[in-house]
Structure 1
């Protein structure tokens, strides 16, 4: 049996796992990333943890582990070089693959974390059996993964799939990237909460205000109260569905995927959001792009990054 390592490198925590060629997870472990200790030291420590875990699983790393894949928050060039880091104090243009290869003596492949998650969903999750997949992670921001004919579209500078920064309003709301009018400034959980706060400032006669009085609002609060029939919250869900459909329709007209897999916290809203998105997409997408299109929730949860990274390591 051949085995593949999957690493999901996060700003706070890193998940490390070993997967066999059939997609069965042998082990997973979560450790603190501690990126402040520096690029080389962090990679060395994570490599040691990986080797110890594999040894503890009675698998011969040298003989039986055939590849290593890593998902990172940031754009990646040629499955090796991280152009810049989100939430890491590390230098730009870092050869992450090369640094891990020094310690592991195996081929290492690196890609953006949402790209990797989308690969995982194609291999073992909600998009099994499909080769043209759009993955969306709608949470604090909006990330994307684009798979065409079974291959990731990463682009010349690793920016392929940065769908959260398509523009949905001219001179619109300020986005965390520094530009105005980005999709994620409206349709992310952050954007939805920002809109809710604005409306709550002038309307306090609703269930949502009662629910969150004295604490910070979360996107889940909006969806929960909407499911109870609160008109104020239902209008916020309509706002969210409108902007998700607008951005998604633009992407459909460019990519024409077979399936869209939606993950992240906003996807947990379920039918109350997905039904509205499906209805509103008719305004924004060419009819041919909606034929036989499936829009589904991501299935793999916390294992998506590890499975996707392992599959990246397996790909020729």
Structure 2
């Protein structure tokens, strides 16, 4: 497979501040943007994108700092804030001729998608979120020994220097750990795709760390301000998650309701990499959302 989705066209689109994103585009019809998670690239959508391109223009970028997209140096907290990364996606879609579009995100891409829904309500028509909570709620539910499952969040929240050094010293083991322990069906990520994920992540350690560091600081600040102001996501929202709430002692749907006025929340028996482990389930979720 290499590093491309078969049948999709590839291009680079300038978005802001000298940053260009690598993007795969396929199909025709109403636009749907798919944002990948960690430690992946846009390739995680290969099954879903191929199916949905039958009746949608499917747009699969590598996020700022990931894959073949540009990786600007972390000048300040805003360089990798989800607000900045969401603005990238809006600019990307506009550069491809789409002023309004549906948006789905997984993991890190889901955090970008949530911020896009809050910051650009006139642009995002539908929003799908795979396997995350909003940033502020994520930090709120982590406590005690159960927070050990999210050790990487705390590691990459540290000031610049040490986390980058530690991860770079054993990058394949670090990123491979998550591919191994988060998948209920490891065979869903074949060897060539795994190799590509590890290569791309190994080459992007500083920007990946900067993305996570932002979530411990400026992203939480942005969420806190929206919560205080009573801001909500107004477009139809579908959330699918593993049942982490049962494991960690919280009600995920209850945490989501204050954020989304039109919410469908469901759990899945698939692992974290659900677009690769259970693509038909994700395709069904997205088709159902887009029909609302």
Larger Rg: 1
Q: Does TM, scored on the shorter chain, surpass 0.5?
A: no
